[in-house]
Amino acid sequence: MTVFEPLERVGHSPLVRITTPVPQPHPGYFAKIEALGIGGLKARSAQSMLAGARRRGELRDGARIVESTSGTLGVGLAYVAQALGHPITLVVDSELEPAMRNLLRALGATLVIVDEPHPEGGWQQARLDALHHILAGDDAYWPNQYDNPDNAAGYHALADEIVSGLTAAGIERAEVLVCSVGTGGHSSGVGHRLRQLWPDLRIIGVDALGSRIFGQPATPRVMRGLGSSMHPGNVRYDMFDEVHWVGPNEAVHACRGLARGGFHTGGWSTGATATVAGWAAARWPGSVITIFPDGPDRYLRTIFDDDWCRRRDLLEPPHTQPHEIDDCEDPTWCWTRCESVRSPIGSVSARTEATAR
Ligand SMILES: Cc1ncc(COP(=O)(O)O)c(C=O)c1O
């Protein structure tokens, strides 16, 4: 058995064939189960961002790292920062599950908890405001996962693992990649690498209803992880053939269906990508691949709690097909799909929102 050094252990998650008939019967697709990689999905970007900063001399030996996180990057950063000998401060918000707070503290992180969302920029902007306040009085390093290109570059190895996993299964190429989008890191990194290999690969972005990333107005969301109330610099709008906004009903139904029918399940982004990957596998011939960003543990009191879901009407039957819109700024109120993706930065509605701030 090979004994890897801590940083060599990052990644290497299994590629699993999923046949659970969610949101409808389909011939199967492949999912990378990132919860089964050490440090999780975001240990990949944490490793890449910290290595880049150390190489450029921006992160000194033993210096403190400060970052805003909805949880997943916190775990990845904790793993990599421990291995490299850096203390970390994580700016989180009061919506972060208590168990995740305890885990991050147990891993040695200092937590700063923001308890009110920014009126327009939501929790993300509120966390960033607090982070800038901390940075002003300290010479700590801020990786800035939203705009740091090393975030996306950290996922090239994930693409390579997909290729070797498919090759081992006797499959020459994939036709469709389905990826959730938050900072844009893993969709950009994996999509860029796979497109170099397969230029015709169809890339589908998966966002949450109420997220601002692809041109919709920001509204309060229960779905966390994917989606954003800002326009992160790492999102490569030119890369996507289509975008889907998935609702919490579809995600809950998918997470629960996956757990019952295929064991591997996860949180909001896993439910959303499973919804779109199942739909895509039923629609297009050839291999569909996706990435399940995290596992179910932190969602046992939400997605997997009957009372919590019932109080929010999330156990109602979900849609099995997306509603179609022609323009990413057309209204959305349920699972929706748009095939003309463009950057909303500089669009009339984005400018109006910015002026309203
Ligand atoms: C659970 C989960 N899923 C999906 C995403 C989106 O990934 P990315 O930031 O690489 O776009 C995130 C980002 O924080 C996440 O925490």
pLDDT (mean) for 281-295: 97
Cα–Cα distances in angstroms (integers) from residue 186 to residues 63, 78, 145, 182, 297, in the given order: 26, 19, 11, 9, 21
Cβ of 117 below 6 Å from ligand 1: no
Cα–ligand 1 centroid distance for 187 (angstroms): 9
Structure tokens at 243: 């975008």
pLDDT mean across residues, the chain: 93
- Say what percent of the chain tops pLDDT 90: 87
- Say what percent of the chain tops pLDDT 70: 96
Structure tokens at 79: 């793993």
In tens, the pLDDT along 250-277 reads 999 999 999 999 999 999 999 999 999 9
Cβ of 72 below 6 Å from ligand 1: yes
Structure tokens at 257: 């269906």
In tens, the pLDDT along 14-31 reads 999 999 999 999 999 999
Domain boundaries, the chain: 6-37+151-351, 41-148
Q: Is the pLDDT of residue 351 over 60?
A: no
pLDDT for res 357:
32
Cβ of 293 below 6 Å from ligand 1: yes
Banded model confidence at residue 352, pLDDT cuts 50, 70, 90: very low
The answer to whether residues 16 and 33 touch, using CB atoms and an 8 Å cutoff, is yes
CA-45 nearest atom, ligand 1: 10
pLDDT (mean) for 197-202: 98
In tens, the pLDDT along 66-91 reads 999 989 999 999 999 999 999 999 99
pLDDT for res 139:
80
Cβ of 267 below 6 Å from ligand 1: yes
CA-71 nearest atom, ligand 1: 16
Fold equal for 6-37+151-351 and 41-148: yes
Banded model confidence at residue 355, pLDDT cuts 50, 70, 90: very low
Which of 32, 47, 72, 276 for a ligand 1 pocket mutation test, highest count of atoms within 8 Å of Cβ?
72
Cβ of 183 below 6 Å from ligand 1: yes
Measuring from atom 3 of ligand 1, which residue has the nearest CA? 225
Structure tokens at 102: 């305890």
For residue 1, give every residue at least 6 positions away whose Cβ sits within 8 Å of its Cβ, in sequence order, or none: none
Helices (H) and strands (E) in the chain, counts: 11, 11
In tens, the pLDDT along 108-147 reads 999 999 999 888 788 888 999 999 999 887 789 999 999 9
pLDDT for res 124:
85
**How far apart are alpha carbons 103 and 108 in whole angstroms?**
9
Cα–ligand 1 centroid distance for 19 (angstroms): 24
Cβ of 121 below 6 Å from ligand 1: no
Domain 41-148, CATH: 3.40.50.1100
The answer to whether residues 24 and 97 touch, using CB atoms and an 8 Å cutoff, is no
Q: Is the pLDDT of residue 199 over 50?
A: yes
Q: What is the DSSP letter of 274?
A: H
Interface confidence (ipTM) of the complex: 0.99
Cβ of 47 below 6 Å from ligand 1: no
| Region for 263 from its dihedrals, namely left if φ exceeds 0, alpha if ψ lies in -120 to 50, beta otherwise | left
pLDDT for res 354:
39
**How far apart are alpha carbons 321 and 335 in whole angstroms?**
8
Cβ of 188 below 6 Å from ligand 1: no
Cα–ligand 1 centroid distance for 298 (angstroms): 14
pLDDT for res 70:
86
Cβ of 179 below 6 Å from ligand 1: no
pLDDT for res 346:
73
Banded model confidence at residue 356, pLDDT cuts 50, 70, 90: very low
pLDDT for res 205:
98
- Rank 136-145, 225-234, 275-284 by mean pLDDT and report only the highest: 275-284
Fold for the domain defined by 6-37+151-351: Rossmann fold (3.40.50)
Q: Is the pLDDT of residue 350 over 70?
A: no
pLDDT for res 48:
97
Q: Which helix (H) or strand (E) holds 290?
A: strand 287-292
